[in-house]
Amino acid sequence: MSGSGRPRTSSFAEPPGAPGAAAAAAGSAVAGGSSSGKSGAAQASGATSTGFGNLKLGRDSGKVTTVVATPGQGPDRPQEVSYTDIKVIGNGSFGVVYQARLSDSQEMVAIKKVLQDKRFKNRELQIMRKLDHCNVVRLRYFFYSSGEKKDEVYLNLVLDYVPETVYRVARHFNKAKTTIPIIYVKVYMYQLFRSLAYIHSQGVCHRDIKPQNLLVDPDTAVLKLCDFGSAKQLVRGEPNVSYICSRYYRAPELIFGATDYTSNIDIWSAGCVLAELLRGQPIFPGDSGVDQLVEIIKVLGTPTREQIREMNPNYTEFKFPQIKAHPWTKVFKPRTPPEAISLCSRLLEYTPVTRLSPLEACAHAFFDELRQPNARLPSGRELPALFNFSPVGVSSNYIVSSHRAVDSAPVELHSHSSSCSRSDDAHFSRYTALTIPLRYACVCSCVTNALCACRRQRVGQLSPVQLCTRSSEQQHLSITSLFLQRSPSPPPPPSCHLSIVPDFSKLQNP
């Protein structure tokens, strides 16, 4: 059992030997077994047709396995998929994860095999079929297979294979007794917030954000959010279980037993990940649920009655020792960038609605370095694509509903193509007119440039509401003097779109 009180659901990204991770039989090969009618497997010439649930460990990993699988996106048109070089890379209470190579493209994939309860639809499958984003692990195919027991059915998810995790990267630097380079922290966290902005715009809450579930390519530094086994489409008014999320990253409202929480629990978890990367160790390392709250109080101080009510209106126990908040500057190492501390302080807040939204986090000054044209990785390689936003990636109507009621005005947003996600445009068509709080500044942002830091001057082409910031260095002065006006404004040029950024003048440390 995990510290959250639920069975351990180790991600396929979690390395062998990691704290709480199941021992992975990495390097072991899988040989083809007998097929079953229930598996939907197909026999190909010279290939092993198998139900996959019957596979046993063996020495020969070169055999070709062919199954009939359904594409992860698009219409349900089953097709034959062949793969080889199968080996186990992880296992746990959820099932087993294999690594394999697709025969046609020679691409590596991860195959997550989980026991399927035939009485229910698989929530992870339903969610992954609707997600299509460059910072979310992609579901390529899925298929069913039979198990060793009668009527036992397994669901197999064929996913992108990404070799490393943020957990392993951080552990590498910790073993070397050094801190992870700050540029990697910025690149990883920025992509995490992009992935959260996307899934939250789809109504999906991940509910298990942690370093082990953040896949990274060590060469390109591309990050992909994975393991949607705990994810859920949150519906207002419908209760949710509070025993969710791995312990170190659990939002305080979950510890207080809230069942009507929002996707802001993911924001808290992301703040914990950021703090861990900066500190080199978890910021709230509790040994139990109660101890977890104690660790949080040590840093944030005792929550007020109002803050507790905001976290869980049904919580009536207010007997807590009065502890003052610990200065954020003393929580981190002396040379920690002040912008990083500032961002942490805005993510790790008791009151869920006061935490930054993912897009507000992307617009934070901590990420200004990424907006510089000459920004590079330590290896000298260019940064991964960070600013290829699509309309749904920046519209984020959920921002409005997640904040308190404030004066607002309508803003028209227009769709255009994006290299990040094809499904974004289709989804965005339902949100062409959004109501955005007046306390946000609205600026024009070129898709190929930084969010909230367009490098081209378009002042002559746009109304004051759509004013482009002229450089990263000037953006704070420009943004803080800009507020959304009630008067209607003309649509932006085709190459730009409106994006929501926070009023930095109100940014204060606790």
User: How many CA within 13 A on the CB side of residue 476?
Assistant: 10
Which CATH fold would you assign to the domain 164-371?
Transferase(Phosphotransferase); domain 1 (1.10.510)
What CA–CA distance (Å, rounded) separates 30 from 62? 9
Active-site residue 208, yes or no? yes
DSSP class of 14: S
Helix (H, G, I), strand (E, B) or coil at 223: strand
Question: pLDDT at position 394, please?
Answer: 60
Averaged pLDDT, 377-406 = 67
Q: Are 193 and 225 in contact (CB under 8 A)?
A: no
- What are 446-487's pLDDT values in tens digits? 333 334 343 333 333 333 333 333 333 333 333 322 222 223
119 — pLDDT class (breaks 50, 70, 90):
confident
Q: Is the pTM of this model over 0.85?
A: no
Q: Is 113 annotated as a binding residue?
A: yes
Q: Is the pLDDT of residue 502 over 90?
A: no
Q: Percentage of the chain with pLDDT > 70?
A: 64
Q: What homologous superfamily does CATH list for 29-160?
A: Phosphorylase Kinase; domain 1 (3.30.200.20)
* Single-letter amino acid code for the residue at 46: G
Question: Which residue among 85, 132, 208, 368 is the active-site one?
Answer: 208
> Computed from CA positions of residues 343, 13, 20, 230, in that sequence, does the dihedral angle turn out positive or negative?
positive
Task: Indicate the average pLDDT of the chain.
Answer: 74
What CA–CA distance (Å, rounded) separates 205 from 294? 26
Question: pLDDT at position 13, please?
Answer: 37
The full set of domain ranges for the chain reads 29-160, 164-371, 391-506
Averaged pLDDT, 259-278 = 98
Give the chain's length: 510
Q: Is the pLDDT of residue 188 over 80?
A: yes
* Tokens coding 457: 């001057």
Question: pLDDT at position 392, please?
Answer: 60
What CA–CA distance (Å, rounded) separates 278 from 284? 13
